[in-house]
Amino acid sequence: MTIAAIIVAAGRGTRAGGDVPKQWQSLRDEVVISRTFKTLRPHVNIICVVLHKDDVTRWEALGLTADCIAMGGATRDASVCAGLEALCAYSPDKVLIHDAARPLVSAEIIRSVIGALDSHKGAAPALAVTDALWTGHDGTVSGTMDRSGLFRAQTPQGFDFQAILEAHKHQSTPAADDVAVARAAGIEVAIVAGCERNLKITTKDDFLRADNLLGYEMDVRIGNGYDVHRFGVGDHVWLCGVKVPHGRSLQGHSDADVGMHAVTDAIYGALGMGDIGQHFPPSDPQWKGAESRVFLRHAVNLATQNGFKVSNVDCTLVCEYPKIGPHQPAMKAALAAIMELDVNRISVKATTSERLGFTGREEGIAAIATATLVKS
């Protein structure tokens, strides 16, 4: 069975404020229509996006791949019709018609609508009205209405493809939604459970509501870092920001603080933004002898600029000597100061490699680190 979806995005709605229609504005870090598209994508075989001609470059800038694009008409009905006609080439069995401005639709609702289409030619999500209903006139209540049996309609509204295509072709008067079009053509539409979360973004307040709803979803990123530096002539090593006396020194372009490099790379890794070598190329003479705190501070700043805060880091140094234990508190304190992080969120620990390998032969020191970043 082939299931298609139409994302209706041709509207010019600017009641939400801003210079562009609401579906092209950002909710958190993502354009509304992009979030809607990505939510529907896993549930359907084909997606048709119906755009206003002025929005084609906006769509292309998102880098998303729709199976087909249709140009919207003067009304919502005309836009849906354009989408249905574009989908004819794919001969889908079912079609879900969804508002681009409902980006928080859940997988559960989408599955419920598709499931109900097994036994009905139409199915759509809705919420029973729970508030009392009034009529009003000149600022006063002129009457009350019975709310029993009343529902607030949502999307996606799902249909047998041929049935809704024919229904739209024969629709001559403007319809509130596709369920209205379907019913006018005699198609029975099953009601499935909607959700308050599946709100339609219309006003600025709706953006705030959607933002609050997303606030409960934590965005947590984890990155790892690994680094090795070899021993050479010298009388100290820098490890996690602490100068430790030792019979040899670690070699490297910077101060060769292997622990701090691993922590820095873990943060870059969590951000998906490269590594120390990319941000501070060893070939660039300005970083010769650089203090590694410059690198770590850069990574932390990059996290902040991208809306993340470092939640914790854990670094393990692998060496036989020097002994790390006596310096652990100072190392944690040094990292905490550079990262402006509570010292309880930092772990520095050490292990030997049982005299095995290059660390066991005391040819160098290795470090691994993990960093957790949380969207703030």
Residues in 201-230 at the binding interface with Mg ion, rule: CB under 5 A? 227
Residue placing its CB nearer to Mg ion in the complex, 26 or 251: 251
- What is the Cα–Cα distance from 21 to 108, expressed in whole angstroms? 28
Closest Cα to residue 92, out of 23, 29, 163?
A: 163
Q: Cα 96–101–105 angle (5° rounding)?
A: 55
Instruction: Name residues whose C-beta falls within 8 Å of residue 201's C-beta, 6 or more positions apart in sequence.
Output: 16, 22, 23, 27, 32, 101, 102, 103, 207, 210
Question: What tokens appear for 192 in the block?
Answer: 């499935």
Residue placing its CB nearer to Mg ion in the complex, 77 or 275: 275
Q: In whole angstroms, how far apart are CA 106 and each of 23, 38, 156, 267, 348?
A: 18, 11, 10, 31, 41
Cis peptide bond upstream of 42, omega within 30: no
Instruction: Name residues whose C-beta falls within 8 Å of residue 28's C-beta, 6 or more positions apart in sequence.
Output: 211, 214
Shortest distance in whole angstroms from residue 308 CB to Mg ion: 23
Shortest distance in whole angstroms from residue 277 CB to Mg ion: 8
DSSP state of 170: T
Residue placing its CB nearer to Mg ion in the complex, 55 or 227: 227
Q: Is 255 in the site for Mg ion (CB under 5 A)?
A: no
Part of the chain binding Mg ion (CB under 5 A), chosen from 27-35, 140-148, 260-268, 318-326: 260-268
Q: Is 265 in the site for Mg ion (CB under 5 A)?
A: no
Residue placing its CB nearer to Mg ion in the complex, 174 or 282: 282
The site for Mg ion, by CB under 5 A, has a size of 2
Shortest distance in whole angstroms from residue 229 CB to Mg ion: 6
Shortest distance in whole angstroms from residue 256 CB to Mg ion: 7
Shortest distance in whole angstroms from residue 41 CB to Mg ion: 40
Shortest distance in whole angstroms from residue 340 CB to Mg ion: 22
Part of the chain binding Mg ion (CB under 5 A), chosen from 20-28, 257-265, 267-275, 366-374: 257-265
Q: Is 261 in the site for Mg ion (CB under 5 A)?
A: yes
Site residues for Mg ion per CB under 5 A = 227, 261
